[in-house]
Structures are given as structure tokens and as C-alpha cells.
Chain A
Amino acid sequence: MGKQMRPPESFAGVVGSRDEAVGRRQAMTALSAVLIAACLFVTIALDRAKALPSFARQTGQPCATCHTAFPELTPFGRRFKLSGYTIGGGEGLWDGKPPLAAMLVPTFTHTRKGQDSPPTTDTHTNDNAVMQQVSVFYGGKIYGNLGAFIQGTYDRASEHTFLDNTDIRYADTAKFGKLDLLFGATVHNGPTVQDVWNTTPAWGSPYVASTLAPQFAPPGTQIEGNLAGKVIGTTAYALFNDVVYVEAGGYHNMSMPLKRALGVPCANNDAWVYAVLQNDINNNPLNNPPYYPWYGPQGLCSSDSLAGFAPYWRVAIEPNWGNHSLMVGAFGFYPRIYPGAVQGFGVDRYTDIGFDAQYQYIDDPHAVTLKFSRIVEHQQLNSTFNQGQFVNTWGMPALSSNGGSQNISNRLVSLRATAQYVWNRTIAASVSYFSVRGTPDAQLYGASVNGNPPPLYNGNSLSNSPNARGLTFEASYMPFSNGGPPAWPWANAKIGVQYTHYLQMNGGQDNFDGNFHNARDNDTLFLYSWIAF
């Protein structure tokens, strides 16, 4: 399971005047049920344990072979993925049980201060206990050297069922003289979903986070999830002598019918569309350009979309010796984007260059992982800037997600460093530091206060800054890493508590938006249980 994005605003409805106290009591009741169920699950007699159950059945291996604390991969786990999920050793393909698995993620979210409005139609401004996610998987070999990880997810926050992280790949090995080659090709649905190191965004820390909080979240670079699930990636890769990894390929936009067929959640902005149409009718200034491909019989969808082919590359060196594994790598992604899926204003051009490194020490009972990644994004916001000018000229409301920019060129730098310790494959503790720094931009990040109305100011920063930083502490217990219930020995579970403390948000600490919101108000306590079977 990858990280969950905060649901688009379009899914966040307005709740009526529900009694807060009643809501809190219901939340606590639900939380109690979650914990009791988890405890019952744990206290059942134990047997051998596995990771993604279908992978475990296929390989005959326990979860700890491929994971330190799932879903974080060990060097063996990385090679399993690079081998196209086809490695066997356990039960054969369709040998009694299909390569299917399921996952439940009940969660409880508490923020230091309640949100201004409930994040979804039937949740509360604080203390929400929900079944955050339900997923089903196809995980394992399809035929021969072809295998797949396919995840279908019901996301409680967006109330959508959609195709989640998916990676279908073909892999093989060859030897040329002294050169060992593990090579393959993958088709997947988002940048870095196919990556095998947990330093890249799709499978990076935190591995699970609340989809209902916090109210304010820092912006991310394009490779950090903006296009997740909305594009088709095709890359080819090779691992030389178990050390040097190279990968190249790129991404195409997923067609609107395909997005709809796969249940991909789209942002939309009914108010914007309505205003465009009204303006069109009344003043007729908008016929050519722009062009709104998201409007019409296919329905509304103003999520950012790719303009043509977006190249991607990845290199890494991973020496492994004894109980040690070190990786130093880099990656690049070059999307051209129609912001808000609006054509006619040019395209935004992004250059995302990432540097990452990882060290793992894996032994019994101790395992340590240190991770670092830094992504630098150069933004050439031609379309966003032009749309902003246009919007201002015609007095249109802001586009759903971009709303124009003050600058044509901006920069955004995202950094994350994580240290994790796992004891006896069952108890894990980690701390992460994250930081986002970027060029101040009044229109992108500026707060609409003090007489500055939208569309000029579409953010929440008095200082017009995207800067944010914080710390995430997490502890988890994985009861089945050394044994699962006899009735279903492939089951796996993780019970965790996570606390995120925001040191800075929207460029400030206190009253960063002029509406008396403080960075620490977003501090989030998150309890979760992650059950796979």
C-alpha cells in the first residue's frame, strides 16, 4: 500500500450540525472495536508468518525475508520485485489458492486542534475512527516470467473504489561473460510505483498516513503523487552484477474513459465550469482558447494531466556485503502538464531530480534502516501563469488546483530523512524529518486575507511561502512476523501509532495564514491497524 493523498476538495462535503460530543463517543466506540478486534487477532495461537500473503504462499518465505517492517523491502525483497514477482518455492500458481490477498486498514485520527470543517461528509472535525482503506490484491506470477502486483482500493476519504498501486512486469536473467544481468520491463500507474527502494515517493515513508488529516498539508513535487494512478508508465530496467541498477522509460496520460473505468478519483470544480459557461454565454471571450477536455459527455475532471510523453530515468548503485546493504541513487522525471487539464495556455514544464541514499543492517534480532531523499523541482509554469493572467483579466474564479501563479519560474525542494529500528522482526520504531522549501509565490501560496480575495491569492500563507517542515514518530507491532494463526498462516498484521509534529507550515509557525491557524495545530496522532490476509 502506498501513501494516500488527501482527498480532493470536491469530495469534502459539508456536514450538518452534528453533535460533536456524540460524534466523539461514536469515534471512541469504533476505535475500541478496532483495538479489540486487533487484540483478538493477535492472541490466536501462532504459526508461520508471511508478508503480502499471496507472495508468501508463492515463495514459501516468511515476511521478514522481503521486509524489515512491511512494506519496507530488504535486498531480497527488492530482487523479488525486480524478478517480476515470479519467484517460487512455495505453492504453485493457482495451487489450491489463487494469488489473491486482501487488506483492511482501520484507523483513528486525532489532531491537536479540530479542523475548520469535517474532512468528509460523514466525519467530524476531529477524532475520526474509520475503516480508512479496504484493498484487494493480485500479487504474484501470472505466467512464466510475467507477474504483477495489482491493488484495488476502496478509499474511505474519497469514497471511491479505484485501481491503486499497480505494477505488471516481465523479468528475466542472462549472463554475458562475467556480466550477470537481471532485466525486465514494467507497466505501472504512477511514477516510482515500480521502484524497489523505499526512498522514492510511491513507497516512501510514512507507509501509512491519515487520509482525513491534517487540514493543512505542504505542497509536493510532481513526482510525489500528483499523477499517481492517472498515468501509464512504461519503463525498462537492468540490474548488473547485483549492484548497478539502471532504468529508463516514461509516462503517458491515461485517457479519460480509462480513468473512469479504473475509478480514478478526479478533482473537479463545478463552480469554475459553471462560471466558464456563464462567461462564455454572456461575454463569449473564452471560445478559442481555451479548450476544456474534461468537460462534456465524459464528465468533469480537472485533475492535472500530462501533455505527451514524460521521460523518467533512475540509476542506483547497491553494494551488499554480509548483513549490510548500501544504496546511492538518483532519478529524474520531466513531466509537461496541463494544469487543471486546461489546454490553450501552453504547458507547465517540470524538472524533478531526486537524490536518494539508503543503508540497511539486517540481522536477528536487530535491523536498522537509514533513508534519505532530496527532490529538487524546477517549475516553468507557463500555463499556470497564463491562466492566472487570464483569470485576473476576466474576473474568473480560480482553477481548482492551480489558480495562477505570480512567477513563471519557481523552485520546490522536498527532503525526507528516516531512521528505523526493528527488533526481532516484530517491533519497529522510526523517526522521520521532512521539509519542503520553495520560491515564494503570492498567487500559488498567498493567503486570501487582508482584502486580498481569490483568485489572486489561492493559498494559506501570509508570507506567500510553501515552506513546511516537521517530524514523524512511529512505533508499530507486527505480531505475525514470527508466526500467524494456524487457520491462515499467511496472515500478516501491523498495529501502529504515529505522531506527526509540524514545526512550520505555509512558511510560518503561528498564525501562518492570517486566520489564526498555527503549524502545531496540525499535529496528528494516528492509530492504525494494518491487516492482510
Chain B
Amino acid sequence: MQRARRDQRTGSGLVAALLLLIAGAASAQDALPVRNCTWCHGSSAQGFMFAPRLAGQRTAYIERELASFAAHARDNPLSQKYMWGAVARLDPATAQGLAVYFSSLAPEAAADGQSGLAATGKAIYDNGVAVDNVAACIACHGPNGEGVRDIPRLGGLSYVYLKRRLEQWNQGYHQSAKPMPLVAKSLSANEVEALASYLSFVQFVDVGR
């Protein structure tokens, strides 16, 4: 019986220690339903599986895309499956708050592309493909893929996400996101892979939100 009581004390101590830990650990985002996003996009919103990184993304871009999901304009299969339901009850003020919050987080490069294709990807990104009438990405997305206003930050996004987005424009999804459907249509499969690979390695450059 003494052992049983000792064991029970051990268990109680464990729980007490845990509660202290819980009480002491600061939750960074009590006011916003951030965890409704990060359970799929990663604890630090750095991306998780095929869910893209939100950290460091442009505020205006996040807001616009949330509206696109709500309007079902962004209609690729994963958006339909996950995001349409996720934003169905999201009010504009909360959407704006989430956009500001995630844009404030320092992003980390996914670095999951094929390093051997990075040089080719950088050439396409910087110069376009003149023979195929592909404009240089740098013109809109900036020299480090940092984006501007509602043009998204591409630098460091995951290879899987970037590749899928470019492919899906070419498959007819989300055609309202002009001019990207036209751009994607002009890229070959190899060029898409090279671009996605290169961008996945681009490091964060802080130029504001």
C-alpha cells in the first residue's frame, strides 16, 4: 500500500509539474484563432506537408487569397478540400488579423527542391524564357522572391507547393489569378520543376510586409 501511495504521489507530481508548465508557457496568439491555421500549416506556420508556409507571406496577399477561397475562385482540389470549409465562417476582421500575424513571422526556406535544377530555375526567374514568351518572374516578385503588396512572397516556399500551383493554373484552375494562368501555360514541365526548385532555396530578405 505504501508503494501504491508513493506511485500515486509520483503521478500527481507529474500532473502538477505539467500544469505549472502549462501555466507558465506563453501562448503567443491568444486573441486570434491562429491554431485553426497552424494545425495544418505547421506550428510556426512554416508549412507542413503540402500546406504552404504562411510565415512571412505578404499581408495583402493572404487577405486576398482568403477572400478567393471564400468566393470559391481559388478552386484547385486541395483548396476545395481544405480551405473552402476553413474560411467559410471567417469574418473579414479575423482574416485581416491572421494575415497581419502570419506576415510578421520570419519565414524559413523549405530548401526541398532539386539543387541541381536551381541554376536553371534562377535563370528563368531572373530573365524569363524569351523564346516561349515567358516574362521574368523577378519583374513582379522581386529580386529575392519577396513579393510586393498583394503579389506573394515566393522565396523559400516549398518545391511541392510551388510546382503544384504552377501545374494547376495550367490545368485550368483558379483562372482569375491573372496573369499567372497565362504564365504557367507557357512553362514546360522541366521549367516548372527548375523554378520551384530554385525558389525553395531562396533565403528570407526582410523588406517589410
Contact = CB atoms under 8 A, between A and B. Distances in A.
Interface in B81-127: 81-82, 85-86, 88-90, 112
A380 to B, nearest CB: 17
Interface residues of A, number: 48
Contact of A173 (B35, B86, B112): B35
Interface of A: 48, 59-62, 64-65, 75-76, 79-80, 83, 86-91, 170, 172-175, 180-183, 185, 234, 236, 239, 241-242, 248-250, 252, 307-309, 320-325, 362, 364
B86 A309 contact: no
A252 B40 contact: no
Contacts of B112: 321-322
The 4 A-B residue pairs with the shortest CB-CB distance in the complex, in nearest-first order: A309-B7, A180-B43, A322-B160, A60-B85
B11 A75 contact: no
A175 B39 CA distance: 15
Nearest to A251: B11
B49 A325 contact: yes
A65 B43 contact: no
B39 A87 contact: yes
Contacts of A175: 28, 43-44
B15 A185 contact: yes
Given A309-B10, A320-B48, A61 B82 contact: yes
B156 to A, nearest CB: 15
Contact of B49 (A183, A250, A321): A321
Contact of A76 (B8, B40, B160): B40
Nearest to A75: B49
B22 A170 contact: yes
A76 B39 contact: yes
Interface in B68-86: 77-78, 81-82, 85-86
A322 B158 contact: yes
14 contacts: A59-B85, A60-B85, A83-B35, A83-B39, A87-B39, A88-B36, A173-B38, A173-B43, A182-B43, A183-B25, A252-B8, A309-B8, A320-B49, A323-B49
A75 B3 contact: no
B128 to A, nearest CB: 27
Nearest to A48: B85
Contacts of B40: 65, 76, 79
A35 B99 CA distance: 49
Contacts of B49: 75-76, 320-325, 362
